[in-house]
């Protein structure tokens, strides 16, 4: 904080507090599951988008989603014209003998002048660092790096310049990482919540044979079955009953950790309730801590979702940057986000210790 | 093929722990992993006590490896990991990238199952850091492993998780505490009451998962006893048996008999069936959903 000005007046001295120094605004990183979503993200104020190619080289490998080479080029052109950046997620783990395909994705990204690639596999990071030393390398949340030791290790080995933190750290733990990491730190601010540490969850492959690491998928749609009964709606994933909804209950997408299960004769959301992470109220803290970027989850969501969420977060980040001490979450923001949230409810997730 | 006793994933009281390792010392397991992989709140053996136990097991002829925690969140946990990495006496199993950071360029560490090595390029990189042994991620099936074995770095040993509930995920949240409506920071060590975890079933009472504090396991026991010949043929060096609270001695001797082909396979598998607490699965080995069991392979 800069020194207060002292104004001398007759018979009195008044100390005037200096205005707070300009806070560095974190980048708003929005999901782009398609070219329309990418465009709408920048139209509503995103600083960056993250996107994937149309295959299992990224962890949102869903039918109808993602970018072919032409769309990727167009998206990059649009982004740069808007003064924004595109980050390409190549964040799954190549299978044995399959690394060439991931390496080609990295080559393509470098060729078209992408702003950064987001990687998780160490072998692929080594390839990227050696072949494309000037290509910005971001450490994916899929690399499951939760400490500054891990992050700095990847920085030393591969020149990682930014790390995305898994959603398992409390606010003070995030602060500790930011203080000690030699890279920029990007954190999730909104969207569907993974309750397990990202990058090392095999629940989905236990049930369906496909996981984020191996196929870029979690609880894949092709394994989902809905069964209507007279009084209930059952949802199964590869035959396993994930939940049973009464008539007055609304059913969301059956992500397997968000079902209701029975433990010692109690039926409840034993692992996690369907809810969306929403850290709007923590924005002043996140900015104070020095987080470099805030990431919005939702590549599988519609362009309308991207528009709504980006608009809210752009407004919030700008308001907080103008005057963090006066920042307050506006009901309009909360309502807009609730409309697009899982389970229509919000949580601070692990940022808040009592969630753990 | 050698037999390894994987790190104890549950929270047992001191007496049960010492009894268990007394049995292991007298068994014909070759390698023993010691250490707390799941939760730093547990008041298990202190570092010096793990070292003392390790020395006893070494004196009994076992190779001992000290296992590091899989999910690291705090500076205190990093300090514990640094102490482990610097111990100088026993090899260390890395289960988190923080451990790789601390063990890199010290020779002879183990890349545990929670380090993501899915392909030859990454295995090569891990070997370059100094790993002498690796445990494939549990999802990795036999075809992938066969391919990786063909190009494995010279001197790299391969250890496969062959028995036990599969550690499928880690979280910052404690599911055992959550079941008792307690916050993790005031969990009252409820996992002590569940020496083999807390079973989670579906709403139609099918056993599904197993809650072990911050770790979520399969309800079913992953069992590769029917694939011993294949494991041997692929060149797997070590079979990991994950501790459970009962019948572990039986399991060790059954796998010894299978690995050495010194007993009737069907009879031995019947013994294992009796020792298993829940149903069996082996789907991952056959590139199928992990929860499935495939008899013929």
Contact call for A96 and B148, based on CB within 8 A: yes
pLDDT, average across residues A180-206: 96
* pLDDT tens digits for range B6-43: 999 999 999 999 999 999 999 999 999 999 999 999 99
pLDDT tens for A40-95 read 999 999 999 999 999 989 988 888 899 999 999 999 999 999 999 999 999 999 99
**Residues in chain A within 8 Å Cβ distance of B170:** 196-197, 200
Sign of the four-CA dihedral A173, A178, A183, A187:
positive
A186 and A218 together in one domain? no
Of B70, B71, B289, nearest to A206 by CB-CB distance is B289
Q: Cα dist. A251→A226, A257, A274, B31 in Å? A: 10, 14, 10, 48
Chain A residues near residue B114 by CB distance under 8 angstroms: 200
By three-state DSSP, how is residue A53 classified? strand
A9 is a domain residue: no
Q: Are residues A77 and A220 in the same domain?
A: no
Does residue A161 share a domain with residue A89? yes
Mind listing the pLDDT tens digit for each residue in B262-280? 888 888 888 999 999 889 9
Element spanning B211, H or E: strand B207-212
Q: Identify any residues that bridge with A116 across adjacent strands, giving them in sequence order.
A: A87
Residue written as tokens 């010692």?
A264
Of A139, A151, A140, residue with least CA distance to A178: A151
For tokens 């910052």, name the residue: B172
What is the per-residue pLDDT across A138-178, written as a single tens digit (0 to 9) for each? 999 999 999 999 999 999 999 999 999 999 999 999 999 99
Strand partners, B106: none
What pLDDT does A355 receive?
Answer: 73
% pLDDT > 70, chain A: 93
A41 plus A136 within the same structural domain: yes
Asked if B203's CB is within 8 angstroms of A150's CB, the reply is no
pLDDT at A8 over 70: no
CA distance B198 to B190: 10
Q: Which domain holds residue A235?
A: 210-268
Domain boundary among A252, A268, A284: A268
Closest Cα in chain A to B198 = A263
- Specify the pLDDT at position A186: 98
pLDDT tens for A209-227 read 999 998 889 999 999 999 9
| Tally of domains in chain A | 2
Any residues with CB less than 8 A from the CB of A342 and at least 6 apart, and which? A192, A193, A252, A253, A258, A274, A275, A276
Better-scored residue on pLDDT, A339 or B238: B238
Question: Tell me, which fold does domain B2-286 have in CATH?
Answer: TIM Barrel (3.20.20)
Q: Tell me, what's the pLDDT at A11? A: 45
Number of H helices and E strands in chain B, helices first, is: 10, 12
Q: Does B106 lie at the interface with A, CB-CB under 8 angstroms?
A: no
Which residues lie below 8 Å from residue B136, measured CB to CB, with a gap of 6+? B113, B117, B144, B145, B148, B158, B160, B161
How do residues B108-126 score in pLDDT, each as one tens digit? 999 999 999 999 999 999 9
This complex has an ipTM of: 0.97
Q: Considering only residues 44 to 83 of chain B, which have any Cβ-Cβ distance to chain A shorter than 8 Å?
A: 70-75, 78, 81
Phi and psi of B241, rounded to 5°?
Answer: -110, 120
For residue A21, the model assigns a pLDDT of 52
Is the same domain home to A189 and A289? yes
Instruction: Kindly give the residue spans of alpha helices, DSSP state H, lying in chain B.
Output: 14-26, 47-59, 75-85, 97-103, 120-129, 142-150, 175-179, 228-234, 248-260, 265-275
pLDDT average, residue stretch A290-315 = 97
Residues of B in contact with A97 (CB under 8 A): 119-120, 147
The reported pLDDT for the residue numbered A62 is 85
**Residue after which a domain boundary falls, among A219, A253, A268:** A268
Quote the pLDDT of residue A2.
Answer: 46
Q: Are residues A196 and B96, on separate chains, in Cβ contact within 8 Å?
A: no
Taking the C-alpha atoms of residue A145 and residue B194, their distance in angstroms, rounded to an integer, is: 30
- Contact by Cβ (8 Å): B142, B288: no
Q: How confident is the model at residue A6 (pLDDT cuts 50, 70, 90)?
A: very low
Nearest to B118 among A145, A213, A242 (CB): A213
The reply to whether A85 and A164 lie within a common domain is: yes
Which pLDDT tens digit goes with each residue over B121-164? 999 999 999 999 999 999 999 999 999 999 999 999 999 999 99
Question: How confident is the prediction for chain A on average, in pLDDT?
Answer: 92
Tens-digit pLDDT profile for residues A131-143: 999 999 999 999 9
CA B28 to CA B33: how far, in whole Å? Answer: 14
Mean pLDDT of B229-244: 97
User: Chains A and B: how many Cβ contacts under 8 Å?
Assistant: 210
Q: Are residues A239 and A348 in the same domain?
A: no
pLDDT at A14: 47
Q: For chain B, give the percent of residues with pLDDT over 90.
A: 94
Are B100 and A153 inside 8 Å of each other by CB?
Answer: yes
Return the CATH number at A330.
3.20.20.70
Q: What is the pLDDT at residue B182? A: 95
Contact by Cβ (8 Å): B165, B219 = yes
A310 has a pLDDT exceeding 80: yes
**Does A176 share its domain with A291?**
yes
- Spell out which residues of chain B touch residue A355, defining contact as CB-CB under 8 Å: 172-173
- The closest of B124, B140, B146, B290 to B218, measured between CA atoms, is B290
- Is the pLDDT at A12 greater than 60? The verdict is no
Q: Are residues A175 and A58 in the same domain?
A: yes
Q: How far apart are CA A69 and CA B116, in angstroms?
A: 28
* Dist CA B62 CA B60 (whole Å): 6
Residues A91 and A185 in one domain: yes
Angstrom CA distances, A331 to A318, A335, A338, stand at 16, 6, 10
CA gap B85, B91 in Å, rounded: 8
| Element at A306 (helix H, strand E) | helix A303-322
Q: Could you tell me if A133 and A170 lie in one domain?
A: yes
């Amino acid at each position: 904080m800069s020194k207060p000005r002292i104004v001398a007046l007759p018979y009195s001295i008044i100390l005037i507090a200096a205005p707070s120094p300009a806070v560095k605004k974190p980048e708003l990183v929005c999901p782009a599951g398609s070219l329309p979503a990418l465009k709408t993200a920048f139209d509503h104020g995103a600083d960056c988008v993250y996107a994937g190619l149309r295959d299992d080289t990224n962890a949102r490998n869903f039918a109808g989603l993602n970018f072919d080479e032409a769309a990727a080029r167009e998206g990059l052109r649009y982004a740069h014209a808007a003064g924004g950046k595109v980050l390409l997620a190549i964040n799954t783990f190549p299978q044995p003998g399959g690394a060439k395909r991931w390496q080609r994705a990295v080559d393509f990204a470098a060729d078209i002048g992408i702003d950064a690639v987001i990687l998780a596999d160490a072998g692929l990071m080594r390839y990227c660092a050696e072949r494309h030393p000037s290509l910005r390398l971001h450490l994916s949340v899929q690399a499951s790096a939760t400490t500054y030791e891990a992050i700095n290790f990847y920085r030393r080995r591969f020149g990682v310049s930014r790390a995305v933190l898994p959603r398992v750290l409390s606010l003070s733990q995030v602060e500790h990482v930011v203080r000690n990491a030699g890279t920029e730190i990007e954190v999730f601010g909104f969207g569907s919540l993974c309750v397990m540490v990202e990058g090392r969850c095999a629940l989905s492959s236990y049930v369906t044979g496909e996981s984020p690491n191996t196929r870029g998928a979690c609880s894949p749609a092709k394994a989902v079955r809905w069964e209507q009964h007279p009084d209930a709606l059952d949802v199964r994933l590869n035959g396993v009953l994930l939940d049973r909804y009464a008539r007055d209950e609304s059913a969301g997408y059956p992500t397997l950790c968000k079902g209701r299960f029975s433990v010692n004769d109690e039926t409840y959301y034993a692992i996690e309730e369907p809810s969306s992470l929403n850290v709007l109220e923590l924005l002043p803290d996140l900015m104070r801590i020095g987080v470099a970027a805030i990431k919005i989850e939702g590549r599988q969501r519609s362009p309308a979702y991207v528009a709504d969420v980006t608009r809210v977060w752009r407004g919030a980040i700008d308001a907080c940057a103008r005057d963090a001490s006066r920042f307050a979450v506006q009901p309009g923001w909360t309502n807009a986000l609730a409309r697009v949230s899982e389970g229509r409810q919000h949580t601070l997730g692990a940022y808040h210790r009592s969630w753990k | 093929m050698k037999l390894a006793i994987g790190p104890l994933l549950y929270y047992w009281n001191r007496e049960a722990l010492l009894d268990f390792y007394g049995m292991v010392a007298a068994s014909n397991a070759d390698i023993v992993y010691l250490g707390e992989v799941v939760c730093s709140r547990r008041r298990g053996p202190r570092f010096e006590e793990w070292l003392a136990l390790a020395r006893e097991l070494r004196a009994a002829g076992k190779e001992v490896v000290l296992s590091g925690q899989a999910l690291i969140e705090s500076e205190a946990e990093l300090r514990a990991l640094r102490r482990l990495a610097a111990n100088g006496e026993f090899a260390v199993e890395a289960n988190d990238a923080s451990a790789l950071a601390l063990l890199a360029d010290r020779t002879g560490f183990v890349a545990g199952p929670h380090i993501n090595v899915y392909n030859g390029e990454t295995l090569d990189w891990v070997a370059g850091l100094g790993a002498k042994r690796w445990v494939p991620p549990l999802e990795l099936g036999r075809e992938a492993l066969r391919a990786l074995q063909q190009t494995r770095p010279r001197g790299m040993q391969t250890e496969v998780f062959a028995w036990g509930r599969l550690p499928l995920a880690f979280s910052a949240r404690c599911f055992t505490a959550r079941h008792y409506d307690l916050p993790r920071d005031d969990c009252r060590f409820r996992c002590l009451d569940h020496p083999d975890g807390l079973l989670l079933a579906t709403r139609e009472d099918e056993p599904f998962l197993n809650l072990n504090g911050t770790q979520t396991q399969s309800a079913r026991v992953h069992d590769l006893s029917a694939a011993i010949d294949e494991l041997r043929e692929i060149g797997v060096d070590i079979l990991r048996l994950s501790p459970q609270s009962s019948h572990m001695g039986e399991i060790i001797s059954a796998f010894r008999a299978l690995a050495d082909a010194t007993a009737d396979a069907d009879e031995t598998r019947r013994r294992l069936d009796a020792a298993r607490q829940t149903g069996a699965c082996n789907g991952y080995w056959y590139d199928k959903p992990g929860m499935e069991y495939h008899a013929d392979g």
